[in-house]
Structures are given as structure tokens and as C-alpha cells.
Amino acid sequence: MGQQTTMNAHDFENHVLKRLGALRPGWTVKKGPEPFQLTIRRVRQGDLRFNLDTFYQQYREQPGLLDRLFAARLRRLDQECDSEALFGAPLILPVLRPASFLESAGGPVVYRRILADLVVTYAAHYSQGMRYLLPQDLAAWNVGRDHLEVLALTNLALMFRAGMKFTGLEADKNGKAQMLMLSYVDTRPYGAALLLLPEVWAWLEEMLEDVPVVGVPERGSLIAAGERAQLLGRLRHDIQERHKEAAFPVSQHLFCVADGKIRLYSR
């Protein structure tokens, strides 16, 4: 009792086919031409063959880890075609919202709480707009929230690596330009979610040559300054003003990373 039934090869192939089609609608996925192989026909690039033998063997050895195994395989497919992963429609991406959003969303959405007053939701992004994902979406796709989170953060990380344009405030220090503040502001709704990526924190620290302190006043923006740059007063003021005027506010607080976790910055 309670033991998970392992799918046979035929059911596994159908499961992967359905799941890829749901999570990458920009791709057309078909069986063949070889046995136990899928062909991914992408919108702007050539076909990609996906052999299932090794994947199925891994699944048989660890059937309880299917979500994690699938996420790893999807990341590999994305890396083989970054541009398609970035701009296929729709993309699944994280969207940062205040916790109060959960009461006004008009129904249950898929989310994870980061801090008491901050949650990350997940949305399917189309050329004409976006749609927050609901628990029934996960049920229809037969995926768990952990898998969805890995997928969304992977997509955002790919976009960051491809070049999301930050603006900077520099000062001359002993004849050397020093970056004091960095801002990402966009009408698209996932800028604030950059807060969730460790590689963004590492990049900010490298660029600022200082411990980064970050604000996310609205869902499309992230603003950072170095802890020792003597600009935290200005940063707080900018965050509060933007938060007050935002159509989709997130938080008026500042954040830092301590012990590998996002925390309120209270100094």
C-alpha cells in the first residue's frame, strides 16, 4: 500500500509527450521517427530529436523523482535552443507579488511564500498578456509546484543571461569609475522576480563591489545599491515613492541575502 506504480514505456512516452506540449506550447512535439523517440518541431528553428531511453531508465530507478528528472531534462532541451526557450509562447515565469494579492486574485493561484508579506506566483506569458497559473493547471499538466518553480526560475535565468538591460549610477573614485546603484525597470511583470536568482545577487555584488541591498517596489522593477555606498537613504526613498505610485506594487522594504536566504534589510 502507498507504493507508487511505475509507468510502462508506452505510458511514459505519452506522459512526456503531453507534458512537453503543455509546458512548451511554442514547440510541436510528435512521436518518432525512431522508436521511443520524440521530435520537437520548434517555431523558428530546426527539429530536435529527444531519445527517451536514458530518461526512462532514470525514471525506473527513481520513479518518485519524476518531477525533478523532468525539470533537468527540460533545462537541457532549453539550453540546446536558448532563443526558443526564451521567446516561445507562452513562457512560464515567476511574478513577485505582495501577500495581500492572494486575497484579491479572485481564486486560488499557485504560489510560494518568501517572507511574511511577499509571495512568488507563476504565470504563463503570451504575446497578448499573461495568466496566473491555478492549481487545476498543475493537475491538468500532471506536474507539482516544485517542478513548476524550477521551470519558471530556469526561464528567468536564461533571460537574465541573454541580457536584461540594467541602468547604473556611477561615481568617480580616485580616478576609477565605481558603480553605486543598478536598476532594472520594465513594463513586463517579472523584473522583481530577479530577486529570487542567486546568480543575480552574485552579479550585483560583483558590479557594485559591495554587499547588495535590493528593493522591488513594483512587479517589473528591481533596484540595488551597495551597503557601504551611503545611498541607502536615497534607495529607501526611491523604493517608497515607486511603490506608492505603482500600478502593481510589490514591497516598500529593502532586502538582503543572509545565510543563503532572502531577508528584510533592517539597518
Q: What is the DSSP string of 97-132?
A: EETTHHHHSSS---EEEEETTEEEEEEEEETTEEEE
- Residue 58: which residues within 8 A CB-CB, separation 6 or more? 69
- 129-148: per-residue pLDDT in tens? 778 888 888 887 778 899 88
Q: Tell me what the pLDDT averaged over the chain comes to.
A: 84
C-alpha span between 38 and 24 (Å, rounded): 14
Q: What is the DSSP string of 221-232?
A: EEEEEETTSS-H
Per the document, the length of the chain is: 267
Q: What is the pLDDT of residue 100?
A: 92
Run of H or E residues at 167: strand 167-173
> What cell numbers appear for 119 in the block?
509571495
Q: What is the pLDDT of residue 246?
A: 93
- Encoded amino acid at 175, one letter: G
C-alpha span between 96 and 242 (Å, rounded): 15
Query: Closest Cα to residue 121, out of 185, 184, 189?
Result: 189
Categorize the per-residue pLDDT at 161 as very low, low, confident or very high, splitting at 50, 70 and 90. Answer: confident
Asked if 89 contacts 127 with a C-beta cutoff of 8 angstroms, the reply is: yes
- 169-179: per-residue pLDDT in tens? 766 566 555 67
- 190-236: per-residue pLDDT in tens? 899 999 999 999 999 998 889 999 999 999 999 999 988 788 889 99
Categorize the per-residue pLDDT at 4 as very low, low, confident or very high, splitting at 50, 70 and 90. Answer: low
Q: Is 169 helix (H, G, I), strand (E, B) or coil?
A: strand
Q: Domain ranges in the chain?
A: 9-87, 91-163, 167-264
C-alpha span between 2 and 94 (Å, rounded): 33
Categorize the per-residue pLDDT at 241 as very low, low, confident or very high, splitting at 50, 70 and 90. Answer: very high
